[in-house]
Chains A and B, each alone.
Chain A
Amino acid sequence: MSNLHNHEAVALANVEAFDIDRYNALDEEATEKTKEGFEASLKQCAIVKAASEWYDTTEAQDYLAEEGVTFDTKEDFINRALNISKGWAYKMIRSASLDVSKIREYKRNCTELEAQGERPARSIAALLKFAKGESQSTAKALATFSIAKDGLNGDGGFSIRITAEGEIKMSGAIENQNIAYNVQKLFGKLQQLLND
């Protein structure tokens, strides 16, 4: 459900560049954590991307002015017309911009994990993580050590965790060779605490 006034809803429903009615119709289905729900989310991503691109055009601004529709900012448009936050909209746009083969690979990966008895999250956030090369397993992590991106490890982040099954999993890669000193310092302190 959007937060639009009557004339705004009517005006946006008549835009050919994106189908806001379809977007709203997919809303309920997209919240379900199923294959179908994920497919609906992907369709919504494509609509959000189209809407975002449309909004930036001169034609869109002319059309909105003609219809007496004012969005204070693009964020206002995203919030009220699409009923999502700006941050989430950009994630959806990034998903819609992914290569189709990457999305297929992600789906295949999910299916394989499901076959192994795991329950991978079929979601836009998980897809984006997968596209960045991060792990898909959803097994409960008992302990995690992570390095923030744009920090010790160059631009990328890194995390390593031990799951309830005793498996050690990693996301990202160690990029900075000088990281060893800091890690040893950290784990030295941890060792000291454990010994106490």
Chain B
Amino acid sequence: MVSYNNSSTTNSLNGVSSKTPHLTPNTYTIMPTMNLTTNGIDLTTLTGESRRGEISGYHRKPSILMKNAAERSDINSLPQSARERLFFSDRLQLQSKYTIGFEIEKSSLHRAAIREYALFCGFETDSSCGYEAVTNVLPLLPASAWRSKVYSLFSEARHIIDDTHSPSSTRCGGHITIGVDGMTGAELMERIRPYVGIILAIYRKRLSNDYCSRNPQLVNNWSEQSVNGHCYRANRVRNYGTSDFNGFDAKYSVCRLKSNDAATIEFRLPTRVRSVKALMRRYELFYELVDAAVTGKSYASFVAAIKPILMRMYGRDADKVTFLLDLAKRFNKFVQDGQITERIVFYLQGHHQLTGDYTGDMSQFYSRSLRRMIREEGLNNTEARVLNEWSA
């Protein structure tokens, strides 16, 4: 494995390094996070704290570090409009406005790969899956030399991320936390709603998973969460309201606010991360999602931006991408209007289907066409048709 080791010579005139950094095998130098080279910020800094290279107990991982600082040279290639939108200065240091963090759950971790990584704050045991590696707070960026630095951290941690070295199972998830400087989590969640259909479409098979199924409409439900918490989840069959599809939960939701005044939101819906490339694609997708939410992009512009990412995600399978974009539209309608059509009912109600009692009677959310289908073909036939035709 090779790391980006910034060894450089110093220009005697101004004390600023003038030599480009070079790759040195197997060296992980502990250096200050801010490094005044012409090559920008060094993200590879390690703390040297032994805890970050060990597996901690559940909820006992080391503190998460902020890794969203940059130097001028990191953003030079970006257009002025993007610079103003994406960065702010704090005590002479540039920082990205958008941030992201990932939880990478694994059934087991490659033993030889457990050590400190610049990418992760640490590792901890996980009650549902086995282990999880939690990243530090990373800058969420468009394609740029700076983003390449983030990707190099992914690559460096490939023995943890890739299933070939550290396997995962369907019990594992891939939670993603995002934040925007100057915006509360509640504001961000509200702004993301018009575009979130694609996330529901991609990870549709997790919509019926009990650990992440609540609040698929991304309603700001903090007051309900704080009152009802987990109890509400336990009784959700009887407790969902007319506008509160699938009940509320302080934790086990599609997307949740970590507190009422939290600056971040956590998407719990994404599936496990199986490779470095998959992580890169998620990063790119969430950048477009956040950027669209912040700038209020038209849906068409948003689709144009994510289409190439989806094509890369799905091995250039154009049919699959068309299917997902179509499904995303239907999920968007559901998020906005609360209508469940025959195309999405399977994913929202899962294997329990229309006749199941797990989610209770949700017929009040059904679209007119789904109701007509049930009326004309009967509940059982509709369920069979839904399963056969729209459960891809």
Chain A residues proximal to chain B, CB less than 8 Å: 1-10, 65-73, 76, 80
Contacts and interface: CB of A to CB of B under 8 A. Distances in A.
Given A65-B308, A70-B143, A6 B148 contact: no
Contact of B152 (A2, A5, A72): A5
Nearest to B149: A5
Nearest to B4: A5
Contacts of B22: 1-3
A68 B148 contact: yes
B154 interface: yes
Nearest to B316: A62
Candidate in B20, B22, B148 with the most chain A CB atoms within 10 angstroms: B148
B154 A7 contact: yes
A76 B77 contact: yes
Interface of B: 1-4, 20-23, 39, 76-77, 143-145, 147-149, 151-152, 154-156, 276-277, 280, 308, 312
10 contacts: A3-B20, A5-B151, A6-B4, A6-B155, A8-B152, A68-B276, A68-B280, A70-B145, A72-B76, A72-B144
B2 A6 contact: yes
A10 B77 contact: no
Ranked 8 nearest A-B pairs via Cβ:
A72-B77, A5-B152, A7-B155, A68-B280, A68-B151, A70-B143, A3-B20, A6-B2
B376 to A, nearest CB: 47
A4 B23 contact: yes
A25 B45 CA distance: 30
A101 B151 CA distance: 46
Contacts of A73: 77
Nearest to A83: B20
The A interface, classified by DSSP as helix, strand, loop or mixed, is loop
A11 to B, nearest CB: 9
A13 to B, nearest CB: 12
Nearest to B150: A68
A3 B39 CA distance: 10
Nearest to A71: B145
A22 to B, nearest CB: 18
B353 to A, nearest CB: 38
Nearest to B155: A7
Contacts of A70: 143-145, 147-148
B147 A9 contact: no
A66 B311 CA distance: 10
Contacts of B1: 6
A68 to B, nearest CB: 4
A7 B312 CA distance: 17
